[in-house]
Amino acid sequence: MKCVKTTLKGWKEIPEGCAITEPGSSVNFDVTAWRTSSPVIDQNKCTKCGMCFLYCPDSAIEIDEAGNYRVNLSYCKGCGICAKGCAPKAITMVKEGH
């Protein structure tokens, strides 16, 4: 078990004007440990309607070069909204082994 320690920056170190100047800094936050289950997409059932992509509150659904929908597990918190919203029932929430 590793304990993650966050160092808070002082007022002189943070960018001026309540800004985040580095784009995409949310990748620095690991949210994978939040999940109890993760979505698994059955590509045979998927109609590529895109509802999971729209519903996902964390933008964890991505579209690969072949046009297939994939789950980026570094963002997925396992809420299951994608599975609920999937009309052809192509997404199943599978419990993770903790």
Partner 1 sequence: MARRVGISGNYAVAYAVKMADVDMIAAYPITPQTTIVEKLSEFVANGELDASYMNVESEHSAMSACVGASLTGARVFTATSSQGLALMHEILFMASALRTPIVMANVNRALSAPLNIWNDHSDAMAQRDAGCIQLWVRSAQEAFDTTIEAFKIAEETRLPVMVNLDGFILSHMYEPVELADEDEVRKFIPSRPLENRVSTKKAHAVGVVGPPEYYYEMKYQAIDAIEKSRLKIKEIDKEFNSRFGKSYGEIEAYGMDGAEAALIVMGSIFGSAKEVANSLREEGKKVGVISLRLFRPFPIQEIRRAVEGIKAVGVVDRATAPGGVGNPLYNEIAAALYDMPERPAIQGFVAGLGGRDIRQDDFRLMYSATEKAAREGAGRCIYVGLRE
CB of 32 to partner 1, least distance (A): 21
Retrieve residue 95's tokens.
């419990």
Non-local (6+) Cβ contacts of 79 within 8 A are 57, 58
The region of 8-16, 36-44, 63-71, 83-91 touching partner 1 under the rule CB under 8 A is: 8-16
Region of 3-11, 27-35, 41-49, 74-82 interacting with partner 1 (CB under 8 A): 3-11
Out of 1, 3, 4, 8, the only residue in the binding site for partner 1 (CB under 8 A) is: 8
Return the SS3 of 22: coil
Asked if 67 interacts with partner 1 (CB under 8 A), we say no
CB-CB neighbours of 46 under 10 Å: 15
Q: Which is nearer to partner 1, 14 or 94 (CB)?
A: 14
Is residue 44 a contact point for partner 1 (CB under 8 A)? no
Residue with tokens 């059955």: 42
